[in-house]
Structure 1
Amino acid sequence: MPDTLVAYIDGGARGNPGPAGYGVRIERPDGTLVEEFGEAIGVATNNIAEYRGLLAALEWARAHGCANLHVRSDSLLLVQQMLGRYKVKNAGLQPLHAKARLLAHEIGRVSFEHVRRESNADADRLANAAMDQDSGDASDADSSR
């Protein structure tokens, strides 16, 4: 396992709240794919789906012995909250945020970067495929880890 990995994460909801899912793509710093997966999470908001994607990436990193994870997300809210720049006011996000902070601490070094949606296309594809799978549409999402 390389010292540093990059996790692209995305979450979405159709209806907000509505059928929701997340996608995660784990890469080496040179862009080589390590693993990608997504999962439908039932009815949720887009922000909850974003956090669920973050938690999945952090849990994957911890389980695979990654000690340095760079998280890239197109959710400015999530990134700013994880950096401590925005308060977590939404009661539904508070426990997810707390769990993410704990997991990040357990991993060792976790950094966060806000990226444009275009830079997060693979994670977005995985999140949409997970939502499609949940609604019965054809999908190539891999929800197993």
Structure 2
Amino acid sequence: MIVSSDGAARGNPGPAGIGFVVQDTRGRRLAEVGEGIGIATNNVAEYRAAIEGLRRARALGATAVLLRSDSKLLIEQLAGRFKVRNARLIELHAEVRDLTSGFRSIRYEHVPRERNREADRLANQGVDEWLRSGAQTPSGSRP
């Protein structure tokens, strides 16, 4: 399966959302999600999008996954080419590793933003919906 994921944050940190599309190897869309996640940094949103996309792929029975993202940091960290230094990202990185250990194979691919438009649209849709909902930030105040 192919998981295309994207995270969006308006401000860093700011109102954030995740988006992902899960497809089979023939390009048939199996799932798509866009949702707000509250206040987060862009990198946290990128990781959260990947995690939720991988969870959905696992729930759909995936054994081999290609994770695509336009976040160079995410892809390079997951591939082991960049160190993870931020404490929150270390936690999220470990969560991805736990998730991917259940797959027979996992590959990571950095793609240009133009090839990740659907996931980007879904992530921004998630931010918009979260803002329209009047959701409160974790501290109880509006962003």
TM-score scaled by length of structure 1: 0.89
- Tell me the CA shift for residue 23 of structure 1: 0.2
Q: Which residue of 1 aligns with 2:79?
A: 83
- Tell me the CA shift for residue 106 of structure 1: 1.3
Relative distance call for 1:30 and 1:64 in structure 2 (3 A) is: closer
Matched-pair contact (CA < 8 Å) for 1:20–1:43: yes
Return the match for 2:52 from 41, 56, 59.
56
Q: For 1:62, what is the secondary structure of its paired residue?
A: helix
* 1:31 paired to 2:27: yes
- Tell me the CA shift for residue 65 of structure 1: 1.5
- Tell me the CA shift for residue 87 of structure 1: 0.4
Matched-pair contact (CA < 8 Å) for 1:9–1:72: yes
Which stretches in structure 1 are left out of the alignment for 5+ residues?
A: 138-145
Which stretches in structure 2 are left out of the alignment for 5+ residues?
A: 134-143
Q: For 2:101, what is the secondary structure of its paired residue?
A: helix
**CA RMSD for the aligned pairs?**
1.0
Q: Which residue of 2 aligns with 1:134?
A: 130
Q: Which residue of 1 aligns with 2:141?
A: none
Q: Which residue of 2 aligns with 1:7?
A: 3
Q: Aligned partners of 2:104, 2:35: CA distance in 1, in Å?
A: 26
Q: Aligned partners of 2:6, 2:27: CA distance in 1, in Å?
A: 17
After superposing on structure 2, the runs of 4+ consecutive aligned residues of structure 1 that deviate more than 3 Å are: none
Q: Which residue of 1 aligns with 2:101?
A: 105
Q: Deviations over 1:55-83 (max 9, x none)?
A: 00111122221101101100000000000
Aligned length: 133
Matched-pair contact (CA < 8 Å) for 1:61–1:107: no
Q: Which residue of 2 aligns with 1:118?
A: 114
Q: For 2:26, what is the secondary structure of its paired residue?
A: coil
Q: Give the counterpart letter for 2:14 in structure 1.
A: G
- Tell me the CA shift for residue 108 of structure 1: 2.4
Q: Aligned partners of 1:120, 1:77: CA distance in 2, in Å?
A: 15
TM-score scaled by length of structure 2: 0.90
- Tell me the CA shift for residue 110 of structure 1: 1.1
Q: Deviations over 1:107-132 (max 9, x none)?
A: 22111000000000000000000000
Q: Aligned partners of 1:98, 1:39: CA distance in 2, in Å?
A: 22
- Tell me the CA shift for residue 25 of structure 1: 0.4
